[in-house]
Copies of this chain bind each other. A is one copy, B any other.
C-alpha cells in the first residue's frame, strides 16, 4: 500500500500548489482579515449549518428561518470578496469530488454506488 501513500502525498502537493487552492486561500485570508467581512461570512455559514443540521435531524424549518437564510444569502452575494470566495470554494469542491471519485473507483466497484443497492 506504500505506493498509495506516495500518491497521496503527491496529490497533497499538487492540490496545495494548484491555482484553485492558491486563489481560495487568498480570498479566504482576505475575507478573514477584515472583521466586518468575517462577521458577515461566519454568520452566513452558521445559519447554513444550523439549517442543514435541522434538515438531517428531520426537524421542521420555520418560515422565519427560511427568510433569515435568504437575507444572509443576499447579503453575502452583494459582498464582492465573499461572493468570489464562495465561487472559489465551489470550484475547489468540484475538483475534490472529482478526485475522490477517481480514488474510490476500486471500492465503488465492490460495493456499488451509494443508493444503488447491492
Contact between A20 and B7 (Cβ–Cβ < 8 Å)? no
Within 8 Å CB of A4, what residues of B? 11, 14-15, 18, 95, 99
Q: List 25 A-B contacts (CB under 8 A).
A: A1-B15, A3-B14, A3-B17, A3-B18, A4-B18, A4-B99, A5-B98, A5-B99, A6-B14, A7-B10, A8-B11, A8-B98, A8-B103, A11-B102, A11-B103, A12-B106, A15-B106, A15-B107, A25-B110, A28-B110, A42-B118, A56-B56, A57-B57, A58-B58, A96-B107
Each complex incorporates copies of this chain amounting to 2
A113, chain B: closest CB distance, angstroms: 15
A3: chain B residues within 8 A (beta carbon): 10, 13-14, 17-18
